[in-house]
Amino acid sequence: MELRVLKYFLTVAQEESFSRAAEKLHLSQPTLSRQLKDLEHEFGKQLLIREPRRILLTEDGQLLRRRTEEILSLVDKTTNELLRSEEVSGDIRIGAGESIHFAQIMKVAQRLRQKHPGLRFHIITGDGRTTMTRLDRGIIDFGFVYGKLDPAKYKELPLPVHDRWVLLMRKEDELAQKDVIQAKDLWQSPLLLSRQTLSNSTHGDEMRNWLERPLEQLNIVGSYTLIYNASLMVKEGMGYALSLDGLINTEGTSLCTRPLVPAIFANPSIAWKKNQIFSKGSKAFLAALQENATT
């Protein structure tokens, strides 16, 4: 399995056409087709479904596409780090969920770029579980995450900020008449919970303690990973969404938020793999974050 052939495969998967992929790769169509036939023979599996007007992926092909994207991303990342090893430059990839406090991380990034213009920052959005998976696979350098981390696997820099939990709802809903929301108000209400709230060893621990009821005793009607899509579910009347404050601008909309009491907070941190080998750029960024966290 050669990187060159994996790039061919990914281009065909993206273009859904041998002819368009061959043109993009500057190859003849028969050559490209033969290379991918050889790849299928190497794995002993069909990867492509060759329809008259479109190329589709089999289930094995979809798996190979995901892995190929990860492999080629790592190759590019490693190449850039090696080529720029003598200077503070290159790519820094950060996985992050939604938080108004992520702006503080970007302020640090911009100040560092003013000193080292060769740095490039790439933000890959996802919930905590997705971010940690990307961190484990080396796709990102740092994760902006919440909840407990395994100290045997990760190091972390706690950030001097916290996010308060609120309930997102329609202004016409019954609970919108309240100034604050107690746990008992939600025991019979249709709830939309984040995937992390439904998971162990995340900030869901605090939320489940606050609710004072096992999840199976609640009326959970759906879940979400990012709050914007959950807000659309709320607008349609599907339920109430528990969210971190400040993520949805409700001004001038049909939605509103109410704080939970007693108040509960989620505390973010910057995480990285314990044995991570950093580029000079990543080292400089971490040092800047550490300095900012103590000032």
Residue 23 belongs to domain with CATH number: 1.10.10.10
pLDDT for the residue numbered 93: 94
- Position 18 in a domain: yes
| Count: domains in the chain | 3
- Position 238 in a domain: yes
Mean pLDDT, all residues of the chain: 89
Q: Do 227 and 278 belong together in one domain?
A: no
- Chain CA centroid to CA 156, Å: 17
Nearest CA to 273 out of 146, 159, 158, 152 is that of: 152
- 199 or 266: which leads in pLDDT: 266
Q: Do 150 and 274 belong together in one domain?
A: yes
- Position 288 in a domain: yes
Q: What is the pTM of this model?
A: 0.68
Tens digit of each residue's pLDDT (9 = 90 or more) over 34-44: 999 999 999 99
CA–CA dist 263, 207 (Å, integer): 10
Q: Do 254 and 275 belong together in one domain?
A: no
Q: What percentage of residues in the chain have a pLDDT greater than 90? A: 58
Which residue range is the domain that position 262 belongs to?
Answer: 163-266
Q: Do 94 and 128 belong together in one domain?
A: yes
> In the listed set 51, 78, 105, which residue is the last one of a domain according to the structure?
78
Q: In what order do the strands lie in the sheet with 154-158?
A: 119-125, 90-96, 142-146, 268-273, 154-158
Residue 11 pLDDT > 80 = yes
Tens digit of each residue's pLDDT (9 = 90 or more) over 83-95: 655 567 889 999 9
Average pLDDT over residues 237-262: 95
Type of residue numbered 142: F
Tens digit of each residue's pLDDT (9 = 90 or more) over 118-176: 899 999 998 888 899 999 988 899 999 988 888 999 999 999 889 999 999 999 999 99
Residue 280 pLDDT > 90 = no
Q: What is the DSSP string of 96-150?
A: E---TTHHHHHHHHHHHHHH-TTEEEEEEE--HHHHHHHHHTTS-SEEEEES---
Q: Which two tokens stand for residue 42?
A: 């190497």
pLDDT bucket at 243, cuts 50 / 70 / 90? very high
pLDDT for the residue numbered 226: 86
Q: Do 276 and 130 belong together in one domain?
A: yes
pLDDT for the residue numbered 84: 59
Q: Do 157 and 170 belong together in one domain?
A: no
Q: Do 69 and 97 belong together in one domain?
A: no
pLDDT for the residue numbered 225: 87
Rounded alpha-carbon distances, angstroms, from residue 229 to 9, 63, 137, 161? 32, 26, 27, 25
Residue 50 pLDDT > 60 = yes
Paired with 240 in beta bridges are 191
Q: Do 127 and 49 belong together in one domain?
A: no
Q: What angle separates helix 29-43 from helix 18-25, to the nearest 10 degrees?
A: 110
pLDDT for the residue numbered 218: 94
pLDDT for the residue numbered 277: 82
Nearest CA to 235 out of 186, 189, 170 is that of: 170
The answer to whether residues 231 and 239 touch, using CB atoms and an 8 Å cutoff, is no
Q: Do 7 and 123 belong together in one domain?
A: no
Q: Do 261 and 273 belong together in one domain?
A: no
pLDDT bucket at 81, cuts 50 / 70 / 90? low
Strands 191-194 and 154-158: unpaired
Residue 153, domain CATH:
3.40.190.10
- 85 or 116: which leads in pLDDT: 116
- Position 83 in a domain: no
- Position 26 in a domain: yes
Q: Do 258 and 272 belong together in one domain?
A: no
Q: Do 276 and 134 belong together in one domain?
A: yes
